[in-house]
Structure 1
């Protein structure tokens, strides 16, 4: 089981990353507005399942790699913390441009709920950026050493990542166009959230690297 501080850091990082407007948010929004709230929830559910499966596969693969080459844990710890800091810096540097970006909903073809769920699973599983994210995001939070189960830590932390997106995804699915309009009209709020999220990610990265807490 991962230590509490690692769980808390993953929850915070995952929350701010999922709350930032991006492809997943637009994917859910399109189904919610273009078809129904049920379709939006189905797409969010599919993305969550795909994220959990991808997290499990990545975690088990990394665990085997760490078992054969223990030194990689140290290397990926530094690379991963640098990656997390880069994500935070990118959020802050692009905050003004992102705040001015208008969320637009594309027309979608009406599909059965079961089809939407499986489509969400496939979309998430085939996303190479998500694979890279898990491979670089998880290792810094792993506590390696005698008596520790690296694989269980990777599995728990990996599954937490897609689960942190569920609250914001459900809100997007239920509120749909109303939420999109509200987000588009409140650029200052989007700017503030991006800055807080970016600074939080940078703080987590620095703590991972230097061990302040």
Structure 2
């Protein structure tokens, strides 16, 4: 394991990286705004579960395979891009509720929330959003080894421990995004009235993330 100052640097870098907006943050915020804090937190937990897949896969060499095999990287890249664009199209084509900007209806919805997306579905959506992004595997493969001492006997175990630490540290950041989004949804009337546009904006961004992923070149080995 790294020395204390390196460990603190690793934690700080992880927090900064998790604060950077991307597909994962967008997914958390979208669900928190639309369905409340619990949905946002569950979305974050789904993303965390997806990260664990990348951590353990990278530790046993799948990450290295993606970095060196053009075929493996391309297959997972296109699956991930297709999934992001599919989610984006669903959001773009979703229809707003019949009450639209009716303030009374919004107030009633706050008092007695309408049925939301099932939490299991929210969790699985976050999980697959993360798992099907090969850039996450490449990130772990490139970032974590920098904090493993060259003389470490069991580098795979050190990789897993650091990856788990990174993932656990991401949980409060993800919860923070969910809480912030939910707070805005409860207090900002303009956001509430324009809620049906959120899916359009988020959908367009997901399609953009998917296109960006589709045109991502395989990192040099």
* Length-normalised TM-score, structure 2: 0.56
CA distance in 1, matches of 2:94, 2:38: 14
Query: Are residues 161 and 108 of structure 1, via their aligned partners in 2, closer, same or farther at CA, if it must alter by over 3 Å?
Result: farther
Q: Distance in 1 between matches of 2:142 and 2:18?
A: 17
Cα deviation, 1:143-173, whole Å, max 9, x if unaligned, reads 1327x22111101111122222211211121
1:150 aligns with 2:184: no
Q: Is the 8 A contact 1:59 1:151 kept in 2?
A: yes
> Judging changes above 3 Å, is the alpha-carbon distance between structure 1 residues 39 and 174 closer, same or farther for their aligned structure 2 residues?
same
Q: Which has the larger radius of gyration?
A: 2
Could you tell me which residue of structure 2 aligns to residue 52 of structure 1? Answer: 52
**1:141: how far off?**
1.2
Task: Give the length in aligned residue pairs.
Answer: 142
**Secondary structure in structure 2 of the residue aligned to 1:165:** helix
1:175 aligns with 2:180: yes
Is residue 45 of structure 2 the alignment partner of residue 39 of structure 1? no
Which residue of the other structure, out of 115, 132, 135, is the alignment partner of 1:126? Answer: 132
Cα offsets for 1:22-81 (capped at 9, x unmatched):
32221101000112211111100000111122112112227999xxxxxxxxxxxxxxxx
Q: Which residue of 1 aligns with 2:6?
A: 6
Distance 2:122 2:169 in 1: 21
SS in 2 for 1:145: coil
> Are the equivalent residues in 2 in contact too, given 1:34–1:108 (CA < 8 A)?
no
Matched ranges for 1:105-120 at <5 A: 110-120=116-126
Please list the CA deviations of residues 168-202 of structure 1 after superposition, one character each: whole Å capped at 9, or x if unmatched: 211121221545999xxxxxxxxxxxxxxxxxxxx
TM-score (norm 1): 0.57
In structure 2, list runs of 5 or more residues that go unmatched. 66-90, 96-115, 189-221
